[in-house]
Amino acid sequence: MEQERISLEQVRHVARLARLALTPAEEQRLQIEMSEMLDYVDKLNQLNTEDVGPTAQVGEPGITTREDEVTNPSAADAMLANAPARDGFFFKVPKIIE
Amino acid sequence: MRPSAVFTQMTSELNRLTIAEASARLRRREISSRELTRACLDRVAAVEPRLNAFITVTADEALQQAELADRRLDQGDAPALCGIPLAIKDIYCTRGVRTTCASKILDNFVPPFDATTIARLRAAGAVFVGKANLDEFAMGSSTENSAYGATRNPHGLERVAGGSSGGSAAAVAADECLAALGTDTGGSIRLPAAYCGVVGIKPTYSRVSRFGVIAYASSLDQVGPFARTVRDAATVLEAVAGPDPLDATCSGRPVPDYARALSGEVRGMRIGVPKEFFVEGMDAAVDSGVRGAIAGLEELGAESVEISLPHTDYAVAAYYLIATAEASANLARYDGVRYGLRAAADNNIELYNRTRAQGFGAEVKRRIMLGTFALSAGYYDAYYLKAQKVRTLIRRDFELAFEKCDIIAAPVAPSTAFRLGEKTDDPIKMYLSDIFTISVNLAGLPGMSVPCGIDPEGMPIGLQLIGPPFGEEAILRAGDAWERSGKFAPPRSRL
């Protein structure tokens, strides 16, 4: 069997990081697809970027700060309106394991 | 002819007007926004079963907005977009109106607020026909990745509308509205505009506020309009662009009067033609259509000059590391806790894992996985950081090119609209549809697609015009001059 660029164990590790429950079929398909993508992006290594700085952001920054004052009425009800489960001003969730 | 039959005849054509035409008639009170909106809604009812451009049609709200617009128009001095029906890509938060991003994970999400762009359009009196279909979370080039079915191309129903803003482009091309809003991260306005034969603009990154635009890749996403003419698109752009304290990445630069750029004058304008954008494997019709438009601009007095963008070949690779990495962070919020889909689970980890497994489609999962990998310990430098360095090289290519030319002209895509299902088996093949648009997002530049031809099967071809940062006026001027030269009249959809 051909050695894929990325192992099934790596796929499972990434899925844990990404909080995605994958079926075995999805794991296998993603292993192939991720390997193909990683083979494709390998071409970036043809470029010497030793003296090149990274670009994290383009465009011009705008207004970034303001006075720390409350300028709008409470929107708690509106913000909780989409809650799958609610208890007063709380989002209800399944238990969080210690 | 009976008067009511005449009335029906007139009303049924109103949805085919440009914004400029409709706005003039609305202000003279020859027509009402209500009639105009009604004409659009009738067209929506007639073609939607075949087209699927909309996820949610907001007929009642549209007619209410039209009524308010009519009252404002009666008082005189209303803004240019007052009473004009628009489609809104279902990625913009619209208060009180379901916003899904074409994903099951947000199937029932109703935003409690408006995106800044939406608020500005409401203030201008625009009418919203509905929420337009897209590839899920804007990830795709065909609108085949929607959880609500694909949108078909109004020029050929067995073809894709392009993506990710396929619904917006198709809605304009099919006369369901007069203009539409989309977003463009790697080509998602320009590509569907080209495939559907309409005008589409991706402004300079930071020209328009992204507040309330559900995020895919935050250093690449940009808001932009679709319309039937360059003038109309400029009108919409001007209404939404400009500083926004709610978006720290939105530029504080004032917005020019874009209409003044539409002088028709391109004498002496230097048009850069990048040799790397005319490659083997391109459709012969696309090649000749785009070259024909460049020649047309030369006939109007512009000069073409060959330029080189040497790192073009690396753009797709850099993009699919940067965009997926940013997406993996932006989509981490969909966890079943505060909104959207919630899967059954006994503990919080299961909640996240199962909600996301059930809620996200295959392409979204693919990109989250790749992005998470690119950012993970041990791989960050080799992948994400490397891609950011290549982004610098790509940006520099354009900076150097713009020393030799005022704007750049190129194809939008290597082919016209492909058939549904043709590329869904091969993700990389699909990604390469973006080969000519992606570097423009990486460099943060403004880009526009204008119709420039059709292929032997009648499918539209787009000319891409790219400007330097905040060079919208230059590309608008060239695009408008081309459009009004009469050298090519884009066919209307025969749907």
Chain B residues lying within 8 Å of A56, measured CB to CB: 219, 388
Name the fold adopted by A8-44: Histone, subunit A (1.10.20)
Is residue B103's pLDDT more than 50?
yes
Of the residues A44, A47, A98, the best mutation for testing chain B's interface (the one with the most B CB atoms within 10 Å of its CB) is: A44
Nearest-CA residue of chain A relative to B346? A94
**Number of helices (H) and strands (E), helices first, in chain B?**
16, 13
What is the reported pLDDT for B77? 82
**B52 — pLDDT class (breaks 50, 70, 90):** very high
Query: Which residue of B lies nearest to A82 if distances are taken between CA atoms?
Result: B339
Distances (CA, A) of B81 to B39, B200, B234: 17, 17, 11
B138/chain A closest Cα distance in angstroms: 19
Whether residues B109 and A82 touch (CB distance < 8 A) is answered with: yes
DSSP state, B94?
B
pLDDT for position B342: 97
Q: List residues of B with catalytic annotation.
A: 89, 164, 188
Contact B391 A63 (CB under 8 A): no
Closest CA to B384 of A7, A55, A30: A55
* Averaged pLDDT for residues A12-22: 98
ipTM of the complex: 0.95
Q: Could A79 and B112 be called an inter-chain contact, meaning their C-beta atoms sit closer than 8 Å? A: yes
Supply the pLDDT for residue B281.
81
User: B485: burial class by Cβ within 10 Å (0-12, 13-18, 19+)?
Assistant: middle
Substitution target in A13, A16, A17, A19 with the highest count of B β-carbons within 10 Å is A19
The domain spans of chain A are: 8-44
pLDDT, tens digit (0-9, with 9 covering 90-100), for B318-346: 999 999 999 999 999 999 999 999 999 99
Q: How far is CA B124 from the centre of its chain?
A: 20
Provide the shortest C-alpha distance from residue B292 to chain A (in Å).
32
Q: Do residues B469 and B447 lie in contact, with contact meaning Cβ atoms separated by under 8 Å?
A: no
Q: Are B479 and B465 in contact (CB under 8 A)?
A: yes
With cut-offs at 50, 70 and 90, classify the pLDDT of residue B425. confident
CB-CB neighbors (< 8 A) of A22 in chain B: 357, 365
A-B interface: how many C-beta pairs under 8 angstroms?
A: 188
Closest CA to B384 of A50, A78, A41: A41
* pLDDT bracket for residue A98 (50, 70, 90): low
Asked if the model's pLDDT at residue B262 lies above 50, the reply is yes
Q: Is B26 helix (H, G, I), strand (E, B) or coil?
A: helix
Residue of B nearest to A95 (CA): B347
3-state secondary structure of B34: helix
Q: How far apart are CA B117 and CA B223, in angstroms?
A: 8
- For residues B349-354, average pLDDT: 96
A28, HSE (Cβ side, Cα atoms, 13 Å): 3
What percent of chain B stands above pLDDT 70? 98
pLDDT in the model for residue B6 = 43
Closest CB to A37 among B247, B347, B370: B370
* B278: contact with A, CB 8 A cutoff: no
Chain A, window 28-87: residues with a beta carbon less than 8 angstroms from a chain B beta carbon: 30, 33-34, 36-37, 40-41, 43-47, 49, 52-64, 66, 75, 78-79, 81-85
Using the Cβ of A25 and the Cβ atoms of chain B, whether some distance falls under 8 Å is answered with no
- pTM for the predicted model, two decimal places: 0.96
pLDDT at B280: 80
Q: What fold does the segment set B11-316+385-484 form as a domain?
A: Amidase signature (AS) enzymes (3.90.1300)
In this prediction, residue B433 carries a pLDDT of 85
- pLDDT level of residue B430 (50, 70, 90 thresholds): confident
- pLDDT band, very low/low/confident/very high, at B12 (cuts 50, 70, 90): low
Q: Are B193 and B432 in contact (CB under 8 A)?
A: no
Q: Is the model's pLDDT at B5 over the cut of 90? A: no
Query: Does B428 contact A82 at a Cβ distance shorter than 8 Å?
Result: no
Q: Which of B202, B138, B90, B105 is nearest to B367 (CA)?
A: B138
The continuous run of DSSP H or E covering B129 comes out as: strand B127-132
Q: What would the pLDDT profile of B445-489 be if each residue is shown by its tens digit? A: 999 999 999 999 999 999 999 999 999 999 999 999 999 999 999
